[in-house]
A and B are shown apart, each in its own frame.
Chain A
Amino acid sequence: MNPQEKKKSLKQNILESEKISRREAISTAGKVAISAVVAGVVAGVGGYLAGSAAAPGRTVTTTVTPPAKTVTVAPTAAAIPIRIWPHAKGYDKYRLENPKDVCAILNNMLAAMGANVKIDFSGTVEEAKLEKVIAAYKAKELPEILGAGHEWVGPFAEGGYIIPIDDYIEKYKLLLTDWFPYAWAWEAMRWKGKTYAVLQDTECRPLYWRRDVLKELGWSDADLDALPEKIRKGEWTMEDAISVAKEAMDKGLVKWGFYHRPTPGAQPMFVFYVQYGGKIGDPDTGKLIADKDAWLKTLELFYKLAVEEKVMPAMAGTSWRTVHTDFVNGRVLFWFGGSWHWAEYQHVAYHEKLGKVPEEWEWEHLGFGLVPAPTKGLEPATNTHPWAFMISSQAKNPEVAFLVAVLQTIPTFDVRHCIYGGKLPSRATTYSHPDFKKNKFLSSIVYMHEYTSVLFNHPKMPVYTRLAFETVTSVEKGEKKPDKAVEDLMSALRAEIGEEIIIRE
């Protein structure tokens, strides 16, 4: 072997002896990766802790030099931005159209006065959802008006995303003299004693029934027409409804006596709870309330409906389409629905033969009234979910934003939203608007507002609603008796809501 070859061979031997196996390389790579991640974690923790100490403030002095000469130019109109996220999808399109038209009218007024200012309106159909609000707030891009269910007033107020508007309400009280006459309308817009939102619309949750099925049980037209008033007076209760439902099922006229919503929500659980004397929240402390006795009676009623009398199935897991299809096709006698379903059945094809049903068909086949009192001596009731227009804390001109939110509720605008969306108005004067009076259904259910309740404005209200629904489901399945179920509910409320709920025995 020559020296060159010897050197090459020696080098190869060294190479071979120092070569690491693939497995060793992967193992070492893994250790490198883990070390890098750990280093990153330590750097992240250390960086956060180091940066969390407040930096000392510093004063910056800026000297502004006035221009050397004055040049006169035509002034451009100052723009007041009004941006809105109202949730204006589908039938709620006027939640966007109404503020837009208000701003257009205001701009015309300002131009007529020669004012060098205009409102720059922009909006989307989107709702002010929490994650969007947080992201926009961090980017300092929060719109002026946020539209969401009233239950978000509490969370948004706690997070500092919206501002109280009591001062503006006082300043412009002349614009609000014909406001909704019931106390809950403003209560639903408050959080810890301050008002944060303007009521944009409301609705109600009646009990629907099949007139045609009741006729087959021997009810006359006069009986059917008198039923809503009898319910209102407390003369016809849930006990009566249960016995009628049982009769209809026994005769094979319907598959089920009652349906309720298959997902967590207010009705009928919280309607029964309020009827039994339960309170949902304490306005003074801002805490939720669970009255154990009222929940026990509510659960006993559900147990009677589903397990003892078997007139209602366990509803969780049933699709919404099945619920509406079964009711519209006469397979269910009573349905704890919402006022917007009246319009929905006209626009969505649930009927197996007719598809979308005309309103004349609805008047002939469906009836509606308050949720009857559980027993004699108690009151009928319903529930509502008001929609709120809140003024954000990053509004460039919050007073103008407040005015736009209030002006879009005047009857001319309010009635468009009510008719198109099947909603009830914010103002009492809208009831007497000619277009509203022409709408027979909406005019027929306005009285229900006198008997309505709202869920409480609290960030943990969705938890309360879900736990209540789960408990009702366990009772409907027959898995738990009401006394055990109510104990589990109280225990779960304590664990998941903690100090923010008052449990009353």
Chain B
Amino acid sequence: MSHHHHDQDTTTSTGASDAYSRRLFMQQGMAFLSMATTVPLFMQRSAEGVMLPVGSLVSSQAGVPEDHTLVVIQLAGGNDGLNTVIPYGDRAYYNSRPQLAINKSDAIQIPGADGYGLHPNLTGLLELLDNGQAGIIQGVGYPNPNRSHFTSTDIWHTGNHNGQGYGWLGKYFDNTCAGKPNPKGSIAIGNKAPLALHGKTQKAVNFETEELFRWAGGTVDDALKKPYDVINRKEVEAKENDSQLDFLVRTSLDAQVSSDRIRAAVSKQPLLNYPDGQLSQQLQLIASMIRADLPTRVYYASLGGFDTHANQLNSHANLMRQVGDALNAFQKDLKKQGNTGKVMTMVFSEFGRRVAENGSSGTDHGTAAPMFLIGDNVQNGLLGKHPSLTNLDQGDLKFNTDFREVYAAVLENWMGADSKAILGKKYTNANVL
């Protein structure tokens, strides 16, 4: 992501929004195959355009390297924060949760944090703490908490109190690229791109698996490739209130271009074996793209199953195991790649759960919960203040850190962006980096 996107490309007469992106990756030697049968005219023109030297990437904020990458992981469904960071020193915890409370002796002691422990299955996270690579921010939430999954997710994704508007990372791209979409800027794993990555003009690329990320018509008949490319690599300008068809044409082009790039990136064997599980698989793909040096600044993964209304002990324990182990493997992979310095991972959930367990050995939708930040540059250990278990708001925890203070810190100190322009107001940077 950089400023030269709005350099004039005098050779692209259409002024189309996507020309610059292909130009950029062609210069960087990442244009691939699949053009074997044809290079559409506009692409030839783009490639002939003014060549920018690689490495001329300009950071939007002094002192912040351009290659900083953010990986965002959502624990979808509402993670039970009180059984993630366990307040074993608090009687109220055991009184509220006769079925679900985790014993002090079972919790993992967090170094330097008396009275608080981690879920016993978060051994992977403990190792990251021991390496100085994990910040656990307690009691993160926002005022007037909404307990609907969808609205609260939207609130976290947009950074707006009502959950309306564009995604905070989408707005980051909108702001740093002067209104030009950057189809290479963000990649989400899954058959859907999250709202967080949707900007006014910015749209994320997403894919589920690399095998499905191409058209198979060429294998049926070679003669179909050329007309297919003409049909699916058309350019239209990105504009507000665009027609359905223009939207489809643009998405088709983005799909073609990112398919070439991503399939090449993820075709390599990973440097280590990842544990089983959906989150692991996603992080493995992300690691391979980071390793291939894609110019992507934001990756997005998510793991579902956290909506534990009933019999949650086992299911939540399995999820904790998956999260800790996947984060751990990912960080080890980055270390082998030599990339731990440029990647930071952020883990959040749309809300925590009620303090008191319900009548079904589960927990209902609640409010504040912990977030994790993983990376070389994060403040290590238990951060912020744990919410009180007795001073409650209608049975729910009161937050201590507004999630937008964490966003502000990440945007300014990691991504090198002006957080006020993105979040609509200046939040104090949380002391987490």
| B is a partner of A | no
